[in-house]
Amino acid sequence: MDALCGSGELGSKFWDSNLSLHTDNPDFTPCFQNSLLAWVPCVYLWAALPCYLFYLRRHHQGYIVLSHLSRFKTALGVLLWCVSWADLFYSFHGLVHGWAPAPVFFVTPLVVGVTMLLATLLIQYERLQGVRSSGVLIIFWFLCVVCGIIPFRSKILSALTQGKISDPFRFTTFYIYFALVLSALILSCFREKPPFFSPKNIDPNPCPEAGAGFLSRLSFWWFTKLAILGYRRPLEERDLWSLNKEDRSQMVMQRLLEEWKKQQDQAARRQAAEASRKKLSSEGEVLLEGRPQAQEPSFLRALMATFSTSFLLSMGFKLIQDLLSFINPQLLSILIRFISNPTAPTWWGFLVAGLMFVCSVMQTLILHQYYHCIFVMGLRFRTGIIGVIYRKALVITNSVKRESTVGEIVNLMSVDAQRFMDVVPFINLLWSAPLQIILAVYFLWQNLGPSVLAGVALMILLIPLNGAVAVKMRAFQVEQMKFKDSRIKLMSEILGGIKVLKLYAWEPSFLKQVEGIRQDELRLMRQVAYLHAISTFIWVCTPFLVTLTTLGVYVSVDKNNVLDAEKAFVSVSLFNILKIPLNMLPQLISNLAQTSVSLKRIQHFLSQDELDPQCVERKTITPGYAVIIHNGTFTWAQDLPPTLHSLDIQVPKGALVAVVGPVGCGKSSLLSALLGEMEKLEGKVYMKGSVAYVPQQAWIQNCTLQENVLFGQALDPKRYQKALEACALLADLEVLPGGDQTEIGEKGINLSGGQRQRVSVARAVYSDADIFLLDDPLSAVDSHVAKHIFDQVIGPEGVLAGKTRVLVTHGISFLPQTDFIIVLSDGHVSEMGTYSALLQRDGSFANFLRNYAPDEDKEHQEADNKPALEDKEDEGVLMIEDTLSSHTDLTDNEPVTYEVQKQFLRQLSSMSSEGEGQGRSVPRRRQSAAEKVVLATEAKASHVLTQEEKTEMGTVKLSVYWDYAKAVGLWTTLVICLLYGGQSAAAIGANVWLSAWTDEAAVDNQQNSTSYRLGVYAALGILQGAVAQQDALATVLL
């Protein structure tokens, strides 16, 4: 380097200790300033360039229009390039005139000039890639300014000392250069405008993180507004921002699903290759080799491939933070030596203290970026896992549904997915903890010598104990999850049939079953609590025992080993760093053991068989037809006999097709086969166009009636009103407390059976699909309402006229109006044709009519006994009767609607409360419009299904703590508080005792009473561990 710096008047040494260290006015040599300080920013930019270009290629966001800010930044880059080349030409000018400048004056301007040109080109490339704030260039300009501060000071001091400027040209160009890089740093802190072709953000409250600049992200300044708002008033749901695009479930789940499919394809290829290898090998070789185990696709690899970018970024943050954490102990050692050296220059102490501060600030910034990255990744893990499990639950075969209960699937999405979210923030400890332990042991070796091996040996001895505890906890976790699955399954069944359970007074029996399962769970949890207490004792005692063993061996092996302040405090600082991985590693092992159980459960569930999405061909079909089944055979499970077989059906576009047959002949199964819900054994199924399905038992969401009808589609008022009118729901809106904004309870509990079915039909009508599959929707309503719905919706004159309709029905009165009829018998088509043609054949259809005709005649007789409708107002009365009939099952399970029913019964005193099927004439009194309005207003004002939950504002009251204390027990609470206090007192006492030990004066390079000091220190540490164990045991058990 000295050869690079040259000699003579303009030359200097590269390094001079007397000038830089051993002086009260430190400075660097001119060669050091012109070489290393000038090269540092350039080396950084060239080193970061490949990775940054790769990132920009993968994250193109559209280009940004050339703005004034971009023009200024580009102009500054060009000027810096010109200044650097001016320095270079000036050096050549001196060479021509015989000045012979040092080589550094040629190399540095060339390197800086090329780097400034690169920075200028990078500014424009970032603009074309849509980068609004460049962290790489901000760091580059910051390094240029920091490295320029030292020459800035040095040149001024040199000019003042010499009384003149030795090199006016370079003096001038340097300060121009410094002003330009400072301006570039200031300009780079401002954000550019959004990219020109960026998608418009339509979120009402978008997250500001997406558009935040580099400095805002680094300091989390984008979060300040929400923090201030939360300080001023309690936050509400509307105050929260929308999720970032990359955090939303549709993005995360889709990425994870693609990687999982890749793993499935790889596993399928491996199995196919293994099968072909077995065919080629001889029988004897196969017998010798044994049967190979089936390799399942790895869900863990799919997770790692999906979130590899976030994981690598978090690894980078964690590595930098871990390395920075070991700098402060070394600086502490230097600071202690400085204090003990009275001849050291004062600026040494300020420099070391400043470096410790800068190191701590850098460590804090990097650590919080790591936390933000890793916790967001944990959230994405949970979101993706829940999404793929939910998607899998929708496509599993019926045989798998028999094995996987609802309780197990709920546990997979709640408990098992949460395990991954809990373990992800600590997953980097798998490599970070060994790295920190190795570095800590290395620096402790430098400080205490071979004595540190005693602590290492103790750590190795404790590993099997931690492993045994982890294995036992994993076994308990597997058993506990089985009990939890059983309990969730039983509770789901109880809540689903709570009405029957109460009617038969089965509560004590089921309560006993639930409590039995819960007692088994509590037994396991108690055993886990004991293991947790043991683990806590190990976690607390391990760092202390390592410290105690190391210091004990150090002062015992040689009487001349004196425990002075530097050795003690630096060692304690390193032991404090060592405490974190030693504490967290056993906990990580325990969490990984629990997560491995969840991983196997999820992987097993996701590997189950799915329904074939291609069993129904939806792209091509014979022109003029909407549904075609050719020689179709279907079953509900592979191990069951076929339910439908040898089906040949062709449904023209726009036709109304009725499917009839006796109970259990396969009518509903036929619709399920068209939907792809059954397993196709042979044949072809073609169905082109969008499909709307109305099940036999209406599926109602827990939301408003309007949201149930819209089903996620945008509101079209005309189409919505037309659907309500056709499905006879307008009269119901007058009865419901809030009209179409009435909140519908779970499973439609506050609607009648007829209302639920009509809402389901209205949903299908509003969907405006091409094909409608109707599974006996008229059986849940009264006969007059069924006639209204058929005439206004399904029939030839209904709103669905012109649509393809496949209607499963038992109502023979509607059959003459259908285009043709399919008669099913024992899973196959026995007859098919028009109504008149089937009557003439006198076959299965005629037998069906003879069987169902008496019931139908009875219903017609009941309908005929009703007076003729005089106007639409009386038609509304009949719709209300359907709502209030005994068919609704509401008089005993919904008090709100029961009160409405009683009010209507009082107003319509002649209306029968027994509903359909009584076979008697019911005279009715017409109700005026004013009476209807008053009654509906009273119902809306007095009946609310749910109320908004109220929350307390401000600080937690003391009464809350007092209630908790009384629930736990006053003496138990006092003991827990004393245990916490005792643990803290023991920890503080150990540190104070160690400080007093280091202050003990050494006599003849020896310290007296080391055994006494060591014994008290050991007693305090063991006391701390024992108290922590009892505290953990009491806390977990309670």
Residues 652-688: tens digit of each pLDDT: 998 999 998 888 888 889 999 999 888 888 889 998 8
pLDDT tens, residue by residue, 93-116: 888 777 777 888 888 899 999 999
pLDDT at 947: 62
The pLDDT value recorded for residue 357 is 94
Three-state secondary structure call for residue 632: strand
Summarize the confidence of residues 57-64 as an average pLDDT.
82
Q: What share of the chain is helix, strand, coil (3-state, %, to 5)?
A: 65, 5, 25
Tokens 């999720």 -> residue: 243
- Cα–Cα distance list, 982 to 154, 987, 1026 (Å): 57, 9, 10
- What pLDDT score was predicted for residue 1034? 66
pLDDT confidence of residue 2: 60
What is the overall mean pLDDT for the chain? 80
* pLDDT mean over 782-801: 87
In sequence order, the 6+-apart residues with CB closer than 8 A to the CB of 631 are 646, 647, 648, 682, 683, 684
What pLDDT does 853 receive?
A: 61
- Out of 536-540, 756-760, 871-875, 1004-1008, pick the least confident: 871-875
User: What pLDDT was estimated at residue 198?
Assistant: 60
Q: Are 51 and 312 in contact (CB under 8 A)?
A: no
Give the per-residue pLDDT at 838: 85
314, pLDDT greater than 90 = yes
Highest mean pLDDT among 193-197, 521-525, 934-938, 993-997: 521-525
Angle, helices 429-448/565-606, rounded to nearest 10 degrees? 160
Over residues 391-407, mean pLDDT: 84
> Residue 789 corresponds to which tokens in the numbers above?
């719905």
- Cα–Cα distance, 573 to 128 (Å, whole number): 49
| Per-residue model confidence (pLDDT) at position 403 | 80
Q: What angle do CA 595, 599, 604 make, to 5 degrees?
A: 155
Mean pLDDT, residues 755-773 taken together? 90
User: Rounded to 5 degrees, what angle do the CA atoms 257, 261, 262 make?
Assistant: 120
Residue 544 confidence (pLDDT) above 70: yes
pLDDT digits (tens, 9 = 90+) for 406-438: 878 888 898 889 989 989 988 999 999 889 989
> Of all residues in the chain, what percent carry a pLDDT higher than 90?
22
Which tokens go with 94? 């001196």
DSSP 714-751: PP-HHHHHHHHHHTT-HHHHHHSTTGGGPBP-GGGTTS
Give 448-498 pLDDT, tens digit per residue. 888 888 888 887 787 777 777 877 877 887 788 888 888 888 888 888 788
* CB-CB contact of 724 with 766 (8 Å): no
Residue 892: its H or E element = none
Give percent above pLDDT 70 in the chain: 85
Mean pLDDT of 299-327: 92
- Region 836-848: mean pLDDT is 81
pLDDT at 380: 93
- Report pLDDT for 228: 92
pLDDT band at 319 (very low <50, low <70, confident <90, very high): very high
Which segment of 15-29, 748-762, 917-931 scores lowest on mean pLDDT?
A: 917-931
Our measurement of the distance from residue 360's CA atom to the centroid of its chain's CA atoms, rounded to an integer in Å, reads 31
381 contacts 250 by C-beta, under 8 angstroms = no
pLDDT, tens digit, 9 for 90 and up, residues 870-897: 344 444 444 444 544 433 333 333 333 3
Is-contact 154 29, C-beta < 8 A? no
* pLDDT given at position 637: 84
Q: How far apart are CA 815 and CA 852, in angstroms?
A: 12
Look at residue 318 and tell me whether its pLDDT is greater than 80. Answer: yes
The per-residue pLDDT for 923 is: 39
Residue 921: C-alpha distances to residues 82, 150, 345, 911, 912 (Å): 104, 105, 113, 10, 9
571-584: average pLDDT: 80
For the sheet with 679-687, list strands across it.
644-652, 625-635, 679-687
pLDDT tens digits, one per residue of 219-257: 999 999 999 998 888 888 888 898 888 889 989 999 999
Quickly state the pLDDT bin for 797 (edges 50, 70, 90). confident
Of 479, 489, 492, 490, give the one whose Cα is nearest residue 520. 479
| Per-residue pLDDT band at 203 (split at 50, 70, 90) | confident
Does the pLDDT value for residue 848 go beyond 90?
A: no
DSSP 292: P
Q: Quote the DSSP letter at residue 340.
A: T
| Strand residue runs (E) in 569-703 | 625-635, 644-652, 656-660, 679-687, 691-694
Q: CB of 14 within 8 A of CB of 2?
A: yes
pLDDT at 385: 94
- DSSP-based three-state secondary structure for 1006: strand
